[in-house]
């Protein structure tokens, strides 16, 4: 999935594995947004849970072990 940097407009690629890892972090820390750094301008971009769910639609939270 591709999103664009809020500041410079550069495309940011989010793979399914990266989206799943980000959703794991969001679930574990109870966050609303995940931050992705732009490789061009180096600023942080907020990516919502809904956008990440579109990139990894089959993701399910892991049970506490």
* pLDDT score for 6: 96
Domain assignment present for residue 62? The answer is no
In a domain, 39, yes or no: yes
Alpha-carbon 9 to chain mean position: 17
Residue of 17, 14, 7, 6 whose CA lies nearest to 51: 14
- Let me know if residue 32 belongs to a domain: yes
pTM: 0.84
Structure confidence at residue 61 as a pLDDT band (50, 70, 90): confident
pLDDT tier at 16 (50, 70, 90 boundaries)?
very high
**Residue 28 — very low, low, confident or very high, per pLDDT cuts 50/70/90?**
very high
Tell me if 63 is assigned to some domain: no
Question: For residue 16, what are the contacts with CB-CB under 8 A and spacing of at least 6?
Answer: 55, 56
Burial zone of 55 (CB within 10 Å; 0-12 exposed, 13-18 middle, 19+ buried): buried
């Amino acid at each position: 999935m591709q999103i664009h940097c809020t500041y410079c407009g550069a495309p940011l690629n989010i793979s399914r594995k990266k989206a799943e890892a980000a959703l794991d972090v969001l679930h574990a820390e109870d966050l609303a947004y995940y931050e992705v750094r732009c490789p061009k301008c180096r600023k942080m971009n907020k990516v919502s849970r809904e956008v990440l769910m579109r990139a990894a639609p089959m993701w399910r939270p892991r049970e506490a072990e």
